């Protein structure tokens, strides 16, 4: 591990001043950062610890949730479970209890891909880790990689479960930096790889995430997060679905769907959402046809065509479970 200096920021202004220096990185719970330091994925000159900042609030308001970036995953889950089950489920199926006690919500959004080539102990061609070195995954092991939005430069997926649930609920990320505060939808927070997979989010190096806002609505309670993985716990998603619905007597009036494990960002199923309006939750064939509408644009790789069918079946199941949670008239 490369040596680095460490300092704890006493307040937001000090933290922002520290990260104006491009050699300085932020550490929150450290569950990602410490691994990166050990593996050489991150080699900062200085680490600024932001755990002393007052950013750990979990506020449930009539207009929605405000979740502080430093709130721990294990603290947020029980507070949001009743009104936002999709959020609680996405948090509780991630990592392990010990990790969730340390892991912050902001850090969760900013974790990096689990592509095995990116995380390999020996350096392999990986445009994300060593720009211009190529993508070993593109014609290599593609089982866990993307089926939407990938480029020849990178086919990796984003691993956050929580981001997928937030994307389905139209949540926004509050960002603060030297140019002031700005708000970005979770769906627009992540960048597709294009020619430069090293830039993964729209967060500038001199900015901090301070909070996440989740709007309230009739759909949040009738929601569900379904994670399909290769073992029952302590595993990242092969495919995941966040579903939130409003329905009137079982007829869908509003549907919000996002997939995880399929792209470099949470992938909203816009066409399916539109096709679901007016469909009865009892009409399995109509639901299946609506789900299929978003998969015309899927581009599976050599080893992951199975994800297309898996994601459709998981979406159908998540929709049905979400629909069974509260008959909410919109
Ligand atoms: C073994 C293992 C299994 C896991 N399984 C899952 C899983 O199944 N699903 C899942 O979703 N996640 C999983 N995770 C990821 C875990 O949730 C994240 O590691 C954790 O949420 C990161 O939060 P942290 O506070 O520890 O971040 P840190 O490690 O402290 O930081 C991570 C990154 O975020 C940046 N950062 C942190 N906070 C801020 C902020 N407020 N503003 C700007 N930048 C910030 C840091 O600079 C760094 O780049 C797993 C992790 C491990 C180690
Ligand atoms: S998919 Fe992306 S992260 Fe994986 S090897 Fe290719 S460039 Fe690297």
Tell me: the pLDDT tens digits for 37-66?
999 999 999 999 999 999 999 999 999 999
Contact 315, 225 (CB under 8 A): no
Burial of residue 82 (number of CB atoms within 10 Å: 0-12, 13-18, 19+): exposed
* Cβ neighbour number for residue 51 with a 10 Å cutoff: 14
For 288-306, write each residue's pLDDT tens digit.
999 999 999 999 999 999 9
Distance 243 CA to ligand 1 centre (A): 23
The DSSP element (H or E) to which 184 belongs, if any, is: strand 180-185
Q: Which ligand sits closest to the CA of 206?
A: 1
Phi-psi label, residue 180: left if phi above 0, alpha if psi -120 to 50, beta otherwise: left
For 101-157, write each residue's pLDDT tens digit.
999 999 999 999 999 999 999 999 999 999 999 999 999 999 999 999 999 999 999
- pLDDT above 50 (res 90): yes
Name the pLDDT band for 330 (thresholds 50, 70, 90): very low
Q: What is the DSSP letter of 328?
A: -
Mean per-residue pLDDT, 302-315? 98
Alpha carbon distance 84, 61 (integer Å): 12
Contact 199, 273 (CB under 8 A): no
- pLDDT above 90 (res 327): no
Contact 301, 145 (CB under 8 A): yes
Q: Which fold has domain 5-49?
A: 3.30.43
Instruction: Provide the pLDDT for residue 185.
Output: 98
Mean pLDDT of the chain: 97
3-state secondary structure of 25: strand
Chain centre distance of CA 197: 17
- For the domain 224-323, what is the CATH superfamily, name and number? CO dehydrogenase flavoprotein, C-terminal domain (3.30.390.50)
3-state secondary structure of 158: coil
Contact 295, 278 (CB under 8 A): no
Ligand 1 pocket, mutate which of 42, 104, 178, 235 (most atoms under 8 A from CB): 104
For 235-264, write each residue's pLDDT tens digit.
999 999 999 999 999 999 999 999 999 999
Instruction: Provide the pLDDT for residue 328.
Output: 43
Instruction: Provide the pLDDT for residue 308.
Output: 98
Distance 33 CA to ligand 1 centre (A): 7
For ligand 2, whether the C-beta of 118 sits within 6 Å is: yes
Distance 282 CA to ligand 1 centre (A): 39
- pLDDT above 70 (res 326): no
Minimum-distance ligand 1 atom for the alpha carbon of 31: 26
Percent of the chain beyond pLDDT 90?
A: 97
Alpha carbon distance 84, 126 (integer Å): 37
Contact 41, 129 (CB under 8 A): yes
Mean per-residue pLDDT, 152-163? 98
Q: Cα-flanking dihedrals φ and ψ of residue 83, to 5°? A: -95, -20
Buried b (16+ CB within 10 A) or exposed e, 219-246: bbbbbbbbbbbeeeeeebbbbbbbbbbb
Alpha carbon distance 47, 64 (integer Å): 33
- pLDDT above 60 (res 329): no
Alpha carbon distance 248, 269 (integer Å): 21
Rg (CA), the chain: 20
Alpha carbon distance 61, 310 (integer Å): 36
Mean per-residue pLDDT, 162-174? 98
Half-sphere exposure of 260 (CA within 13 A, CB side): 31
The boundaries of every CATH 3.30.43 domain in the chain are 5-49
Alpha carbon distance 113, 150 (integer Å): 13
């Amino acid at each position: 591990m490369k040596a680095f200096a460490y300092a704890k920021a006493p307040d937001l202004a000090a933290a922002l001043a520290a990260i104006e220096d491009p050699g300085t990185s932020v550490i929150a719970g450290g569950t990602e950062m410490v691994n990166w330091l050990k593996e050489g994925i991150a080699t900062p000159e200085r680490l600024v610890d932001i755990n002393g900042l007052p950013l750990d609030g979990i506020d449930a308001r009539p207009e929605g949730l405000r979740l502080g970036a430093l709130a721990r995953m294990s603290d947020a889950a029980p507070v949001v479970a009743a009104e936002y089950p999709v959020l609680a489920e996405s948090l509780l199926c991630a990592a392990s209890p010990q990790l969730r006690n340390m892991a912050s919500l902001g850090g969760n959004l900013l974790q990096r891909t689990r592509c095995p080539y990116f995380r390999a102990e020996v350096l392999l061609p990986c445009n994300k880790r060593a720009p211009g070195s190529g993508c070993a995954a593109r014609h290599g092991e593609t089982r866990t990689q993307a089926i939407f939005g990938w480029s020849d430069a990178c086919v990796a997926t984003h691993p956050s479960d929580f981001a997928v649930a937030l994307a389905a609920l139209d949540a926004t990320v509050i960002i603060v930096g030297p140019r002031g505060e700005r708000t970005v939808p979770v769906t627009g927070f992540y960048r597709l790889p294009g020619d430069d997979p090293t830039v993964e989010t729209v967060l500038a190096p001199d900015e901090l995430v301070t909070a996440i806002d989740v709007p309230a609505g009739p759909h949040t309670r009738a929601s569900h997060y379904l994670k399909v993985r290769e073992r029952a716990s302590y595993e990242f998603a092969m495919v995941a679905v966040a579903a939130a619905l409003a329905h009137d007597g079982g007829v869908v009036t509003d549907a919000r769907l996002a997939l995880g494990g399929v792209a470099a960002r949470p992938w909203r199923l816009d066409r399916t959402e539109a096709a679901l309006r007016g469909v009865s939750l009892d009409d399995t064939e109509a639901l299946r046809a609506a789900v299929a509408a978003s998969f015309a644009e899927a581009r599976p790789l050599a080893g992951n065509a199975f994800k297309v069918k898996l994601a459709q079946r998981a979406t159908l199941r998540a929709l049905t479970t979400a629909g069974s949670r509260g008959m909410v008239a919109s």
